[in-house]
Structure 1
Amino acid sequence: MTSAAFERLVRQLDDASGPSYDARAELIGIGSAAIPAVIDGLPSLDGFGQLTAIEVFEAVGDPRCGPTLIGLLGSDNSTVREWAAGALAGLRIEGAVEPLRRARLACLERGTPPDRTEPCTIRWALTDFGARTPVVPPLTARLRATAGADAPGWPSAHFAEIVGDLADHAQVILYSQFWRVDDGGTRWVRGPGLDRELDWTAPWERLVAQAREWSLLEATEAPVGDDVFVVPEWIDRSDLDRGR
């Protein structure tokens, strides 16, 4: 394929009316040979095109995209930053840990609430690299172990116990998701859907209490069954530490 043909495909990544999806599929099908052209053309793309380019990077799995993904952590587009962080972890890009730590700090400095998707993805990426260790209290760890290696979380019947255990160990639960596992696979299940909003200006102890209160309320209305699992997302005080 000529360089002009590659450039045409990369430009089409920005066209959300349809050509973007065809161009993405063609670039993925070409594989590693297409990656230099996507890297070179990425700065000229808008947010949609950059997100599609990240999908190409992830599907092809060529580590040469690493520096470009690291650069996207400084994008003005929060979704681009979030997707770049996830791709860095998914592709195990060498040298990504310190840029991800800076991205975490930038979220704090922007005042992004820690329950938004960008900081959640950055924390997940750091955890996946072994650069962040979530606090998992003993009871919570034990209940997870009894759920089985293939379980997507904790048995929902133990949700209230998990809430109490995490709060007793000064962890703030941000939100929880529910999943059903049956012969049809793993499917998301609608939870109570409470419109919670933590006061991030409050002292940490108050945040812990607020999160416990909301989560216990959710537990009273949560779906329950032998095949239903809950996946809470929580943070430690250290996750808001600007010195790390």
Structure 2
Amino acid sequence: MTPHIERLIQQLDDSTGPSYDARAELIYIGSDAIPALIDGLPSLDRFGQLTAIEVFEEMADPRCGPALIALLGSDDSTVREWAAMALASLKIDGAVEPVRRAYRACRERATPPDWSEPEGIRWALTELGARTPVVPALTARLQATAADDAPGWASTHFTEIINDLADHAQVILYSQFWRVDAGRTYGISDTGLDRELDWTAPWEHLVEESRTWSLLEASEAPTAANIFVAPTWIDRSDLYPER
């Protein structure tokens, strides 16, 4: 490790400004910095490790795979989440089982499935081909009728989607609304409903509770030709994969 690269790696921890410049320079140096960054990763704090993950993703070098897998065991939930997502985006060989173990650990910690970490890990498993979301036929067909670049489903079909998903035993975790104007996409505020599901309840109860909340949300949601909704949902197997 050259003194210059070592100094850049340590600067990744400095969120007051130097971290951004160090990140950019390490990316510019490229693959020559990978071994030093891997070696220096354990010495970094949370912010530095998250920045290092961004550097790994930009470099797209498979040598970072073992280091990212090691970060799945971090004490910090965001580090674990970002590491799993980086493993998936980089298509790292051998990542499936470690990411599965990270998801099991999430469940063992009783992390609610609508929190950021389990959501990110489910995305990673899907991208790695180890998870297949359940998309009922009507929901799939309604999405296909939207424009190719639409961020989800037309909001006018929200009630149909809710019922279709619930009828197929899916639990909607939350929904994000988007407005498309002049080819640009903007996130818009949701209905402001503060839902909280009891994850110890039977799955059938969760499905119907989610349906009730989502239908209430749909009754207050914005609807227009340029408004789209992107619900996030899970299957029973995401909560009880052993069943």
Name the TM-score class by shorter chain: over 0.9
What secondary structure is seen at the aligned counterpart in 2 of 1:89?
helix
- Given the alignment of the two structures, is residue 207 of structure 1 paired with residue 206 of structure 2, yes or no? yes
Equivalent position amino acid for 2:97 in 1: E
Q: Quote the residue 1:147 is aligned against.
A: 146
Matches within 5 A, 1:194-233: 194-233=193-232
Q: Quote the residue 2:30 is aligned against.
A: 31
Q: Quote the residue 1:60 is aligned against.
A: 59
What secondary structure is seen at the aligned counterpart in 1 of 2:205?
helix
What secondary structure is seen at the aligned counterpart in 1 of 2:179?
strand
Q: Quote the residue 1:50 is aligned against.
A: 49
Alpha-carbon distance in structure 1 between the residues aligned to 2:32 and 2:177: 41
Q: Quote the residue 2:189 is aligned against.
A: 190
What secondary structure is seen at the aligned counterpart in 2 of 1:177?
strand
How much does 1:130 deviate? 1.4
Aligned residues: 243
Unaligned runs of 5+ in 1: none
- Given the alignment of the two structures, is residue 113 of structure 1 paired with residue 112 of structure 2, yes or no? yes
Q: Quote the residue 1:162 is aligned against.
A: 161
Alpha-carbon distance in structure 1 between the residues aligned to 2:34 and 2:242: 36
What secondary structure is seen at the aligned counterpart in 2 of 1:33?
helix
How much does 1:184 deviate? 4.8
Task: Provide the alpha-carbon RMSD of the alignment.
Answer: 1.2
How much does 1:90 deviate? 1.0
How much does 1:148 deviate? 2.9
Seq. identity, %: 72
Indicate conservation of the 8 Å contact 1:147/1:154, yes or no. yes
Indicate conservation of the 8 Å contact 1:105/1:242, yes or no. no
Unaligned runs of 5+ in 2: none
What secondary structure is seen at the aligned counterpart in 1 of 2:218?
helix
Q: Quote the residue 1:85 is aligned against.
A: 84
Alpha-carbon distance in structure 2 between the residues aligned to 1:180 and 1:87: 28
How much does 1:138 deviate? 1.2
Q: Quote the residue 2:180 is aligned against.
A: 181
Alpha-carbon distance in structure 2 between the residues aligned to 1:158 and 1:232: 12
Alpha-carbon distance in structure 1 between the residues aligned to 2:95 and 2:192: 35
Equivalent position amino acid for 1:226 in 2: A
Indicate conservation of the 8 Å contact 1:108/1:242, yes or no. no
TM-score, normalised relative to structure 1 = 0.97
Alpha-carbon distance in structure 2 between the residues aligned to 1:29 and 1:36: 15
How much does 1:146 deviate? 0.7
How much does 1:151 deviate? 1.5
Q: Quote the residue 2:135 is aligned against.
A: 136
How much does 1:240 deviate? 1.2
Alpha-carbon distance in structure 1 between the residues aligned to 2:222 and 2:63: 44
Alpha-carbon distance in structure 1 between the residues aligned to 2:59 and 2:30: 6
Alpha-carbon distance in structure 1 between the residues aligned to 2:58 and 2:101: 26
